[in-house]
Structure 1
Amino acid sequence: MEQTAFDFSWPEPVENPPAATSEKHRTVHVQPAETMADIHACAAADISLTDGRRRDLLSGLNRFGAIAGRPLTEIPATASAIRAVFAEAKPIRLGIKRKTLQTLRSSVAFAVNQFAPARKTSSSAVKENWNAEWAALIGLIQTPFRRHALSRFAEFCSQQAISPADVMPETLAGFYLALTEAEIVKEPKNIVHGTISSWNRAARDIPSWPQIRLSSPTKPTPYVLPLSAFPQGFQSDLANWEKGVSAKPKAASIFSAEELLRPLRQDTIKSHLLLFRQVATALVKSGTMKLDEIDSLAELCDPDKLKVALEFEYERLGGKERRVLEMASKLRVLAKHFAKLSPDQIAKFDQLCANRPKRQNHITDKNRERLSQFDDPANYALLLSVPARLAKEARQTANAYRAAKLMEQAVAVSILLRVAPRLATLRRLELGWFKRQADSSFVLIIPPGVMKGGRPLELTLNAEFAGLLDEHTERFRSALPGASGSYLFPGESSGPRSKNAMYEQIVDAGREVGLDINPHLFRHLLQKVCVERDPSSVGDVSKVLGHASISTTVIFYADRNGKAASKRLDQLLSNAKDAELPK
């Protein structure tokens, strides 16, 4: 289909135009619109549209087809099909502004809502569609963005005659279904998550709010049984084990009777506690033991029963051998040093763990693939531009909360580009750790308790970053929930941002420019960029990354430098060859 001039000058349409207008559109066209080509034809034939509005709609639909890379006749006129196209559309790759893409999305949504078959339910954010009960309830929320987050849910429940007091977790399933069938502009899961967050916060902070806690309808049922499901003896053993590995030991060797040389980190303790529950669950679900029989940690240390449970896990996890063998190896430590097994039992455990995997000392294949994006210098330049792009968008965003989230994202990516802290460290950075210097730069002083290796770290962040951080803290950060706390990236309760939320923020920043990144990838990227340009910088990279030994940097992060090294050697050989040629 021929492309026409694309004009975005007309105002963004409302999501839910008056019913009379929609009825007028429906009477003009007898055949329902099944594909986006049908939508295009309906818009072209609609006599109620002004010439300018019709031209803009047709231009937008043509542009949509170009972005999809398919004829409009092949694209169903459904919300899910349209969302799939826009999910792959990145403004930077298309050479347009994000606002331009948002306007195009709204234009397509307007056309589909007008000409596609009418839907049974609605999930718009039109306040006029709330009933009095919902309007009164939402009015109790003082924060504007939290009221807005519940607006679609209020409209849906009003239409379905569900009062606030009758809301149940199952109500969200119907709401989510309505969104997936009708929502084009936003991702349904994100709308549902925002609804859950605002509802649960209101239930906590507003006494008259219905006291029902909502959870995601798309969240799978947890496989691992909760701790409360197990006998009290098992729960007590886990509590005692946690206390023992958290306390400062008195042992002079790596192990005494029941103590480690040093306390385990909280993240390690948390992962082990989950592992213990996972194995106990496997013992039950494999039929090896009954739930009430697991009354102590020692039950996890029977090598014969454990073998059956681990084989069950191997099948459940789809044949992930390394993961199951790592579980066995960790339980071997528990059995040897805390369960006081007999020598025969220990021998069986050793046999069970004979094929346990060696410590992984190289970058994973997935991260290797992600890192290969930056073999193209243009992609690295694109990533470097992300903080400035986000900061510019934040300054142009009227909504204070959205602007603060954008500027926060800019600060986080800027820190990762410069010093690449681990995610656990990044999310727990405190404002007081940034010390201003005479040259307007900052020194970031990270205490040992936050570092994986338990050693403090001091890092310099230049004046350019200092300006970005100052702007965020002085102008934007106060609009974030929990901003009264000490954390640079606050959570809603003034504690640190959750691990998952921080992770998604970074992934989203890359996704917006068409790059597949995650927080840990920045650690590999810092090494790649610096060492490829100057091999002698590996020592400096090691210090910035907080490694105890430079060998860690070389083993884990430098294994991919073969290409760069071979290029340098090739150049040396070429130079030597040229020097030896007779003149």
Structure 2
Amino acid sequence: MVTIAFSRNSSPEEYGASSPSIGAVLKAIAADATFSDKRRADICSAVRTLCGRLHIQLESTPADPRLFAERLANVTEVTVAMSRGRFQNCRSLLDATLAYANKRMVRRRSRTPLAPEYAALLAYATSRWQVIRLRALFRYASERAILPEGIDETVMTAFAETIRRSTVKKPHNVERMSRHAWNQLIQAVPGLGSQTVTINYIAERYVLEASAFPQSLWDDLEAYLSSRATPETTFAIDSLLTEEELFAEDARRTPPIRTSTANLIRYRVRQFASVLVIEGVVNVEQMTSLASLVSPATINRGLQFFVRRAEGKLRNSQMYGIATDLLMIAQHWVRLPASDLQKLKILTSKVRPQHEGLPHSARRSLAPLRDLPNVRAFLAVSELILRDAEKEKSIDRATANRVATALWIRIAQRAPLRISNLLTTRLDTNIIRSVGKSGSVALLYPPDQVKNRKTLEVPLPRSTVAMLDLYLRKYRPVLVEGESPWLFPAPNGKYKKPGVMSADIQRLMRSYIGFAINPHSFRHVAAKLYLSVNPGDYESVQLILGHRARETTVRYYCDLEAEEAFRHFDAVLLGLEAHPDRRRPS
């Protein structure tokens, strides 16, 4: 059983008000004599079945392609308990229904043959990716008898509108890549006479290049980051602090940071400096040091830019991260007066996100795990992936990559580490084994590899060790050529990127069990499952997740027990209903 939780940003009312309901369209198709009896029956049956499996109300849901595209974005045949052929057929007939509802809504695949001019142009494409991105555009132009010389900004805009009125996934990405492929093509075809088109980016690109600012600003920033690079505190003999300075709050050394954090601070400083230039708060020539960025008035003006971008929302993690980094610079490097620091602390507190418990996105991703069959399917998915891989007669890179992903899932289920820790696991330093053929295995991470700088040692169950050994012996050699110390290597010998691993994990989970969660949510799953059996045992969850403070664990996961409380409450009510004469004990 799969519980479907759609992460949509729009409500049905936000889609075309003039669109008839999907139920009304089915009634119109059932009464349309231009369809054969079999065709009408097939369409109505397929659409009703698919909508029923997705819990879509026929009479109140607009027949708008974008709404259905969002609903179907992460749905697989496993999600709706259909065979692959039946699921694909239902989707195809749904497309036909939406096309019938509005002639401007095109089918997912156009059957219009390409005009000869466009068929000849495809020969100049340099990659399969470029052919795929150009084919839809060329079919659109062929349908409308538009010659290659006539493709301009107006045609591209109309093509984009057609895509948005279809069930294509991520229409903005399709439009942008089609524009990019077209620009590449006309550069490669001499004498075509066509004009380039603009490439529309969803996000506004306002961050200036580092070269736009004085080099002294970056030198000052690097000096600040160097002061926080290592935890050791050393002083030269000629620069010993006085006793007053030694115990002064602003003379204490700032907390050390890792390389990844330093890179994030570099970007945030450049991001904020760019905003100050755009807003006209500080001239580029005046940005000679970090001191020019961190006055209370300057930070206040700069943060207003982000408030406008967030449509008036005052509290979000982006603004809080920028404000916090600037406060640290002002306090520990620029050393602003105490009165200014107090203003910055108040400003930082005003943009700090306020939430108790898990974010809404995490709650929605965990919705399928409310049902025990889904929990069991989640715990068994790595074994299913490995079982299918073992059936293969030969091992190619794709198969080995699936097994690597299955191993990641298996380890993260039993040892809910952060994705950065698992992906940077080295065979020579992070995996420790006891003596003996059947010895135990644990993952060991020193403080400099852990977010809260506490040594982390995680024992692996025997079943996980068996999968690990099989992967190392049989599948990992296919993934890398030459020497590589990483447990999960990329083709270039480095460790696999988090974004790539995250995509692989979610793709395999949807394929095998019909739903997916992102890698970080494995930690939330661990807390949810443990607390559902051991309510109130936050100390154990704190140890499992490696939180430094118990308060962190309680703040995020205390309300996960609410579901169990409601189930208990429902059981009490059922007991009272079954025994209406039962008196309340005194």
2:457 maps to which residue? Answer: 458
Name the aligned partner's letter for residue 347 of structure 1.
Answer: S
2:313 maps to which residue? Answer: 319
State the Cα deviation string for residues 222-281 of structure 1 (Å, max 9, x = none). Answer: 343343332333233223333333256434779999884663112322332233233323
* Structure 1 residues 386 and 424, CA gap change in structure 2 (3 angstroms): same
Cα distance in 2 between the residues matched to 1:313 and 1:478 = 47
Are the counterparts in 1 of residues 133 and 178 from structure 2 also a CA contact under 8 Å? yes
Q: How does 1:419-438 map to 2 (within 5 A)?
A: 419-430=415-426, 433-434=430-431, 438=437
Query: In structure 2, which of residues 124, 129, 135 is the aligned counterpart of residue 155 of structure 1?
Result: 135
Cα distance in 2 between the residues matched to 1:259 and 1:346 = 15
Are 1:524 and 2:516 matched, yes or no? no
Moved more, 121-130 or 257-266: 121-130
Helix, strand or coil: the match of 1:301? coil
State the Cα deviation string for residues 175-206 of structure 1 (Å, max 9, x = none). Answer: 8666545565x555676799999999xxxxxx
What is the aligned-residue identity percentage? Answer: 21
Are the counterparts in 2 of residues 530 and 541 from structure 1 also a CA contact under 8 Å? yes
* Structure 1 residues 74 and 371, CA gap change in structure 2 (3 angstroms): closer
Are the counterparts in 1 of residues 95 and 108 from structure 2 also a CA contact under 8 Å? no
2:545 maps to which residue? Answer: 545
Are 1:86 and 2:69 matched, yes or no? no
Name the aligned partner's letter for residue 545 of structure 2.
Answer: L
Helix, strand or coil: the match of 2:458? strand
Name the aligned partner's letter for residue 86 of structure 1.
Answer: L
State the Cα deviation string for residues 50-107 of structure 1 (Å, max 9, x = none). Answer: x98887666434534545734499764x753542442374544533345642443345
Q: CA deviation at 1:305?
A: 2.8
2:207 maps to which residue? Answer: 224
Query: In structure 1, which of residues 307, 328, 349 is the aligned counterpart of residue 341 of structure 2?
Result: 349
Cα distance in 2 between the residues matched to 1:355 and 1:255 = 24
Cα distance in 2 between the residues matched to 1:408 and 1:170 = 47
Q: CA deviation at 1:419?
A: 1.0
Are the counterparts in 2 of residues 489 and 496 from structure 1 also a CA contact under 8 Å? yes
Cα distance in 1 between the residues matched to 2:214 and 2:247 = 32
* Structure 1 residues 256 and 352, CA gap change in structure 2 (3 angstroms): closer
2:378 maps to which residue? Answer: 383
Q: How does 1:113-512 map to 2 (within 5 A)?
A: 117=103, 131=119, 134-135=122-123, 137-138=125-126, 147=128, 149-156=129-136, 179-181=163-165, 184=168, 188=171, 217-247=200-230, 249-251=232-234, 260=253, 263-317=256-310, 318-321=312-315, 324=319, 327-341=322-336, 345-354=337-346, 356-357=348-349, 363-366=357-360, 369-370=363-364, 373=367, 374=369, 376-388=371-383, 390-391=385-386, 406-430=402-426, 433-434=430-431, 438-439=437-438, 442-469=441-468, 485-491=484-490, 493-506=492-505
Count of aligned pairs between the two proteins:
516
In the superposition, the TM-score normalised over structure 2's length comes to 0.65
Cα distance in 2 between the residues matched to 1:232 and 1:303 = 24
Q: CA deviation at 1:299?
A: 0.3
**Gap runs ≥5 in structure 1:** 1-32, 142-146, 201-213, 572-580
**Gap runs ≥5 in structure 2:** 1-21, 184-196, 236-245, 572-584
Helix, strand or coil: the match of 1:220? coil
* Structure 1 residues 328 and 487, CA gap change in structure 2 (3 angstroms): same
Are the counterparts in 2 of residues 443 and 460 from structure 1 also a CA contact under 8 Å? yes
Helix, strand or coil: the match of 1:444? strand
Cα distance in 2 between the residues matched to 1:42 and 1:483 = 66
* Structure 1 residues 81 and 334, CA gap change in structure 2 (3 angstroms): closer
Name the aligned partner's letter for residue 132 of structure 2.
Answer: R
Query: In structure 2, which of residues 56, 63, 73 is the aligned counterpart of residue 69 of structure 1?
Result: 56
Are the counterparts in 2 of residues 485 and 494 from structure 1 also a CA contact under 8 Å? yes
Cα distance in 1 between the residues matched to 2:105 and 2:525 = 48
1:16 maps to which residue? Answer: none
Which structure has more RCO (C-alpha within 8 Å, separation ≥ 6)? Answer: 2
Are the counterparts in 2 of residues 481 and 491 from structure 1 also a CA contact under 8 Å? yes
* Structure 1 residues 249 and 294, CA gap change in structure 2 (3 angstroms): same
In the superposition, the TM-score normalised over structure 1's length comes to 0.65
Are the counterparts in 2 of residues 434 and 443 from structure 1 also a CA contact under 8 Å? yes
Moved more, 479-488 or 277-286: 479-488
Cα distance in 2 between the residues matched to 1:453 and 1:301 = 27
Cα distance in 2 between the residues matched to 1:219 and 1:469 = 41
* Structure 1 residues 350 and 496, CA gap change in structure 2 (3 angstroms): same
Helix, strand or coil: the match of 2:87? helix
Helix, strand or coil: the match of 2:203? coil
* Structure 1 residues 478 and 97, CA gap change in structure 2 (3 angstroms): farther
Helix, strand or coil: the match of 2:263? helix
* Structure 1 residues 487 and 75, CA gap change in structure 2 (3 angstroms): farther
Q: CA deviation at 1:322?
A: 6.7
Cα distance in 2 between the residues matched to 1:242 and 1:453 = 19
Q: CA deviation at 1:459?
A: 2.1
Cα distance in 1 between the residues matched to 2:541 and 2:50 = 45
Cα distance in 2 between the residues matched to 1:423 and 1:315 = 33
* Structure 1 residues 53 and 368, CA gap change in structure 2 (3 angstroms): closer
Cα distance in 2 between the residues matched to 1:442 and 1:371 = 31
Q: CA deviation at 1:296?
A: 1.9
Moved more, 290-299 or 113-122: 113-122
Q: CA deviation at 1:377?
A: 4.0
Cα distance in 2 between the residues matched to 1:397 and 1:98 = 21
Are the counterparts in 2 of residues 414 and 465 from structure 1 also a CA contact under 8 Å? yes
Are the counterparts in 1 of residues 385 and 406 from structure 2 also a CA contact under 8 Å? yes
Q: CA deviation at 1:421?
A: 1.0
* Structure 1 residues 193 and 529, CA gap change in structure 2 (3 angstroms): farther
Helix, strand or coil: the match of 1:459? strand
Are the counterparts in 1 of residues 106 and 166 from structure 2 also a CA contact under 8 Å? no
Name the aligned partner's letter for residue 221 of structure 1.
Answer: E
Are 1:104 and 2:90 matched, yes or no? yes
Moved more, 266-275 or 52-61: 52-61
Name the aligned partner's letter for residue 444 of structure 2.
Answer: I
Helix, strand or coil: the match of 1:338? helix
Are the counterparts in 2 of residues 442 and 461 from structure 1 also a CA contact under 8 Å? yes
2:243 maps to which residue? Answer: none
Helix, strand or coil: the match of 2:442? strand
Cα distance in 2 between the residues matched to 1:480 and 1:533 = 39
2:533 maps to which residue? Answer: 533
Are the counterparts in 1 of residues 172 and 202 from structure 2 also a CA contact under 8 Å? no
The alignment yields a C-alpha RMSD, in angstroms, of 5.8
Cα distance in 2 between the residues matched to 1:71 and 1:496 = 48
